[in-house]
Amino acid sequence: MGTAPVHDTRAEALGSDLSGSSPMGPIEKQHSFLPLLQLLWANGWSLFRAGVCAFLASTLLAFLIPVRYQAVTRLMPPESQSETLGMLAAAAGSAGAAALSGIAGDLLGVKSSGALFVGILGSDTVQDRLIEEFHLMDVYGDSKIEDARRDLTERTDVSEDRKSGIVSIAVTDHDPKRAAAMAQAYVAKLNLLVAEVSTSSARRERLFLEERLQKVQADLSSAENNFSDFASKNTAIDIPEQGKAMVNAAAILQGQLIAAQAELSGLQQIYADNNVRVRAAAANVGELQKKLEEIGGGGTQADPQGDSSLYPSIRKLPLLGVPYADLYRQTKVQETVYELLTQQYELAKVQEAKEIPTVKVLDAAMVPTKKSFPPRSVIIALGTMLGITLMTTWIVWKAQWDAVDASDPRKMFAIEVLTATRAQMLRFSRNGYASESNGHRHLSEEPKQTSSAKREVEDRNCQ
């Protein structure tokens, strides 16, 4: 009770100093905050309690907020650039290459591959694949794919450094291992999708050559099978070489036959037909004639072999030569086409690999060991400061309110509004539930309550 007059005096002094508009001298300016400091010192215990309560509440809030971890992957700027930019830069020379490339990119609307990467990483295709791979709908508690995409977007930050061109992919998650795995999965999905949606000329050429190679390979297999069947059926290993060998063999046999016939004629003039030497010479002539007939061939067209010989006869070689040459030529043509297409296909793959922007990882995502959210120390500090600030504001406002004269119309009006509002709140809290549950609230009671409230206000004003 002894401190009440001091408190009132300080409140009145504070109210007069804070609300006064008269000019103050230099000495008065130095002591303008003295009443405020005295007021805060007098209410130091309240400030201390408010600070402790705010500290405990902010500490509890900081530790109740779920912890999040952030994994970051950084990609090198892609090396592949537009052909137009390359030609313009080469024409400009080393001095103005960078400037002309930038101007050409602005004029022609050519975007860098880094901006393309950022757009692809934020596409629904990449997000849907990550949502499916990591079951993010269950992780985020979403029932629709659109909600899962929104949550994934909020937890993912993809940016490109304009100066260096480095693309950063930052993924935030409650599980540090999942955050690192998702950051790495972004790179894998980016690399795969860039190759899938590439529309370069080399890619179109490669796709055409792939289709052409399949057809040519089928034709080559068919030609090889036909040639193999023909050669196996007719014992036609190599018709030109076989013809030369058989002609040479026939010429040798023909010479041997002529010599044997001459020897037989000479022996027949000297000896009788039953002589041993004559019979031996006759047998030799017959054997040579048989071999010569086998090589020359005596069969028909229906029987190309003509006998049980392992090789076609000379007489049938011209008939076999034409289909043999035709089948051999078809096989060689298909082999040549297949070889040329294979070479072009390999070159197209190399060119496609050059044109497709490559994804090179500068910093791979590692499992984070330090949380990225929440900043507990900041939350505790701000919460404590907020509590002290609110209590200080309340103390200053209450002091100014107490310093206002009770007969001030503004204060009387404020008290009247506050009293009426409190009465209404008490009335609704006590009778609102019962009246709504019974459902038979009389409309005639409302004017009576309103008139009684007005009467109470009038009596209070008169007092």
Structure tokens at 399: 């002091």
How would DSSP label each residue in 28-90?
HHHTTTHHHHHHHHHTHHHHHHHHHHHHHHHHHHHHHSPPBEEEEEEEPPPS---HHHHHHHH
What's at 340, amino acid-wise?
L
Task: Note whether 295 and 249 are within 8 A (CB).
Answer: yes
Q: Dihedral sign, CA of 305, 311, 314, 319?
A: positive
Task: Note whether 407 and 77 are within 8 A (CB).
Answer: no
Q: Provide the pairing of β-strand 156-160 with 361-363.
A: unpaired
3-state secondary structure of 361: strand
**How far apart are the C-alpha atoms of 167 and 161, rounded to whole Å?**
6
Name the pLDDT band for 256 (thresholds 50, 70, 90): confident
Name the pLDDT band for 353 (thresholds 50, 70, 90): confident
Which of 117-121, 197-201, 210-214 is the least confident region?
197-201
Q: Dihedral sign, CA of 161, 166, 171, 172?
A: negative
% pLDDT > 70, the chain: 65
Structure tokens at 282: 């006759």
Residue 170 has pLDDT above 60, yes or no: yes
Architecture of domain 69-198+356-363: 2-Layer Sandwich (3.30)
% pLDDT > 90, the chain: 17
3-state secondary structure of 440: coil
State mean pLDDT over 434-458: 47
Structure confidence at residue 71 (pLDDT): 93
State mean pLDDT over 88-112: 43
User: In which region does residue 135 sit, left (phi positive, over 0), alpha (psi from -120 to 50) or beta (all else)?
Assistant: left
Does residue 297 or residue 204 have the better pLDDT? 204
Structure confidence at residue 336 (pLDDT): 87
**How far apart are the C-alpha atoms of 416 and 458, rounded to whole Å?**
10
Average pLDDT of the chain to the nearest whole number = 74
Q: Provide the pairing of β-strand 156-160 with 167-173.
A: antiparallel
Tell me which long-range contacts 17-25 makes (C-beta under 8 A, separation of at least 24): 18/396, 18/400, 19/400
Q: Among all chains, which residue has been given the structure tokens 């899962």?
A: 148
How would DSSP label each residue in 183-223?
HHHHHHHHHHHHHHS---HHHHHHHHHHHHHHHHHHHHHHH
Closest-CA residue to 142 (of 151, 134, 133): 151
Q: Which residues contact 116 (CB under 8 A, 6 or more apart)?
A: 357
User: In which region does residue 142 sit, left (phi positive, over 0), alpha (psi from -120 to 50) or beta (all else)?
Assistant: beta
Closest-CA residue to 305 (of 233, 240, 244): 233
Structure tokens at 386: 């907020």
Task: Note whether 282 and 317 are within 8 A (CB).
Answer: no
Query: What phi, psi does 280 have (nearest 5°)?
Result: -65, -40
The domain ranges of the chain are 4-63+377-430, 69-198+356-363, 209-349
The listed range with the strongest mean pLDDT (209-223, 311-325, 398-412) is 209-223
Q: Determine the Cα angle at 273 with ends 270 and 275, to 5°.
A: 75
**How far apart are the C-alpha atoms of 195 and 202, rounded to whole Å?**
12
Does residue 458 or residue 397 have the better pLDDT? 397
Task: Note whether 384 and 58 are within 8 A (CB).
Answer: yes
Query: What phi, psi does 272 have (nearest 5°)?
Result: -80, 170
Structure confidence at residue 116 (pLDDT): 80
pLDDT in tens, 385-394: 999 999 999 8
Closest-CA residue to 36 (of 392, 385, 402): 392
Q: For residue 319, how many other CB atoms are within 10 A of its CB?
A: 14
Name the pLDDT band for 247 (thresholds 50, 70, 90): low
State mean pLDDT over 67-77: 90
Does residue 443 or residue 176 have the better pLDDT? 176
